[in-house]
Amino acid sequence: MTSSISLSGLNAAQADLRTTSNNIANANTYGFHASRTEFADLFTRSAFSASGTESGSGVRVHTVRQSFSQGPVNQTSNTLDLALQGQGFFAVSDAVTDGNLTYTRAGAFGVDAEGYIVNASGGYLQGYPTNADGSIATSLELQQMRIPSTVGDPQATTAVDLSVNLPFGAEGVGNQDAVPPTNAFDPADDTSYAFSADVNVWNNDGEAMPAKVFFIQVQEPTAGDPSTTYEMRMEVDGEVLTTTPATAAQINFDEYGTPTSTIAPMDFSSTSWNLSLDLTDTEMSDDTYQVLSSAHDGERPRGLSGLEVGDDGVVWASYAGNQAISLGQLAIANFPNSQGLKQLGESSYAQTVESGDALMGQAGSDGFGKVDSGALEMSNVDLTSELVNLITAQRNYQASAKALETSNSVTQTIMNIRG
Residue 212's pLDDT band (boundaries 50, 70, 90)? very high
Lowest-confidence pick of 7-11, 230-234, 289-293: 7-11
Residue 166's pLDDT band (boundaries 50, 70, 90)? very high
Element (H, E) at 315: strand 314-319
User: Left (φ > 0), alpha (ψ -120 to 50) or beta: where does 361 sit?
Assistant: beta
Does the structure show a pLDDT above 90 at 248? no
Q: Are 216 and 184 in contact (CB under 8 A)?
A: no
**CB-based burial of residue 325 (10 Å sphere; 0-12 exposed, 13-18 middle, 19+ buried)?**
middle
Question: According to the model, what pLDDT value does residue 348 have?
Answer: 95
Question: According to the model, what pLDDT value does residue 235 have?
Answer: 96
Determine the Cα–Cα distance for residues 152 and 228; give it in Å rounded to an integer. Answer: 44
CA distances from 407 to 42, 58, 410 (A): 19, 14, 5
Q: What is the pLDDT of residues 372-401, one digit of tens each?
A: 999 999 999 999 998 998 888 888 778 767
Question: According to the model, what pLDDT value does residue 247 have?
Answer: 73
How does DSSP classify residue 206?
Answer: S
Question: According to the model, what pLDDT value does residue 352 have?
Answer: 95
Determine the Cα–Cα distance for residues 379 and 34; give it in Å rounded to an integer. Answer: 7
Element (H, E) at 250: strand 250-253
Q: What is the pTM of this model?
A: 0.73
Question: In sequence order, what are the residues at sequence separation of 6 or more whose Cβ sits closer than 8 angstroms to the Cβ of residue 260?
Answer: 227, 252, 253, 254
Mean pLDDT of 67-91: 94
Determine the Cα–Cα distance for residues 375 and 312; give it in Å rounded to an integer. Answer: 15
Q: Are 301 and 152 in contact (CB under 8 A)?
A: yes
Three-state secondary structure string covering 369-406 = CEEEECEEECCCCCHHHHHHHHHHHHHHHHHHHHHHHH
**Mean per-residue pLDDT of the chain:** 89
Q: What is the pLDDT of residues 331-361, one digit of tens each?
A: 999 999 999 999 999 999 999 999 999 999 9
Determine the Cα–Cα distance for residues 24 and 405; give it in Å rounded to an integer. Answer: 30
Mean pLDDT of 19-37: 91
Question: In sequence order, what are the residues at sequence separation of 6 or more whose Cβ sits closer than 8 angstroms to the Cβ of residue 126?
Answer: 90, 91, 92, 93, 101, 142, 143, 144, 145, 330, 331
Does the structure show a pLDDT above 70 at 52? no
Mean pLDDT of 130-138: 89
Q: What is the pLDDT of residues 182-204, one digit of tens each?
A: 999 999 999 999 999 999 999 99
CA distances from 386 to 18, 23, 151, 247, 389 (A): 11, 7, 51, 91, 5
Sign of CA dihedral 118, 146, 364, 325: positive
Question: According to the model, what pLDDT value does residue 223 have?
Answer: 85
Q: Are 212 and 197 in contact (CB under 8 A)?
A: yes
How does DSSP classify residue 418?
Answer: -
Count of residues making up the chain: 419
Question: In sequence order, what are the residues at sequence separation of 6 or more whose Cβ sits closer than 8 angstroms to the Cβ of residue 391?
Answer: none
159-296 has CATH 1.10.10.60 classification = no
User: Left (φ > 0), alpha (ψ -120 to 50) or beta: where does 113 sit?
Assistant: alpha
Q: What percent of the chain has pLDDT over 90?
A: 66
Pick 45 or 280 by higher pLDDT.
280
Mean pLDDT of 64-70: 89
Question: According to the model, what pLDDT value does residue 117 have?
Answer: 97
CA distances from 226 to 56, 70, 233 (A): 122, 85, 24
Question: According to the model, what pLDDT value does residue 194 have?
Answer: 96
Q: Are 34 and 49 in contact (CB under 8 A)?
A: no
Question: According to the model, what pLDDT value does residue 49 have?
Answer: 60
User: Left (φ > 0), alpha (ψ -120 to 50) or beta: where does 257 sit?
Assistant: left
Question: Domain residue spans in the chain?
Answer: 2-69+380-416, 78-150+303-377, 159-296
Residue 98 half-sphere exposure toward CB, CA atoms < 13 A: 0
Does the structure show a pLDDT above 90 at 403? no
Question: Residue 210: how many CB atoms within 10 A of its CB?
Answer: 12
Question: Residue 329: how many CB atoms within 10 A of its CB?
Answer: 26
